[in-house]
Amino acid sequence: MTHIAPQEAAAPQKTGFFSTGPDAPRLAWLARPPRRENAAPGLVWLGGFRSDMRGTKAQFLDSLAETQGRACLRFDYSGHGESEGDFADATIGLWAEQALAIFRALTKGPQIVVGSSMGGWIALLLARALAQAGEADRLAGMVLIAPAVDFTEALIWPQLPAAVRRTIESEGVWMRPANDYGEGYPLTRSLFEDGKANSLLGGKIRTYCPVSILQGMADPDVPWRHAMRLVESLASDPATITLVKDGDHRLSRPQDLQALQKAIEYLDGAAAAKP
């Protein structure tokens, strides 16, 4: 683990709003600049479906960056957390576009992207977009926590009752009722259609960087075999997977956060060894 000298002052965290266009919703962000120019790759947090940039794992990532003197960027997608925009108007493709735009605008040099749940899918779409633009070297590595790749079509749609699927198809939206995990929210036809258009599993997935996956085997939302499908699709890039036998979907216990730090340190080593 990297330690800093006591006399080094912590880099102040910056906050603001970012917009991808004049009529686009403003996206709330929190960024910690690196303490020195030769710091390790920056960290970029990509949150999950209906989560925000102030959750346990995101806060841990920022604390780690502060301790190690490296950059860290967190933000909320539109319709999430402190960002503007209506959740019902957004799609996977839109959130991926926002991630790409804010990544380019607010980070410099190689980054380690940490994607949780839906953020894992967004991270892979980000990698594809960067590679297509000749910017694959911007990714030093990727940590995917319970990656919910293709979750709209592969995980949610098959579990919806037939009557609910008909409602979404005919009316364009269905309000998922509140439960023990939180308040209700809309599931739109556009979310599923766009999710299908941005699906990745079943084909070859490239990241052009090392990937470390953390997956709980007691995860009720993203089965561990779903993560194994992703590993099989990453055949051309270095990929490791850590299965946590008693881990749930959140993977935010102290031991889970330690595993996250170890994954980042592994990717640091891989980046340092790269010629």
Catalytic residue among 80, 249, 256, 268: 249
Catalytic residue among 219, 221, 256, 268: 219
Residue 240 contacts residue 211 (beta carbons within 8 Å): yes
Alpha helices in the chain (DSSP H): 56-68, 92-106, 118-132, 151, 162-171, 189-197, 224-233, 254-273
DSSP state of 248: -
Q: Is 199 a catalytic residue?
A: no
Task: Say which residues have a Cβ less than 8 Å from residue 10's Cβ, sequence separation at least 6.
Answer: 35, 66
Work out whether the CA dihedral 109, 145, 210, 61 comes out positive or negative: positive
Identify whether 219 is a catalytic site residue: yes
Closest residue by Cα to residue 67 from 5, 114, 141: 5
Residue of 83, 117, 212, 252 marked catalytic: 117
Phi (first) and psi of residue 188, to 5 degrees: -105, 155
Rg (CA), the chain: 18
Residues 224 and 215: beta-carbon distance below 8 Å? yes
Establish whether 117 is a catalytic residue: yes
The catalytic site residues sit at 117, 219, 249
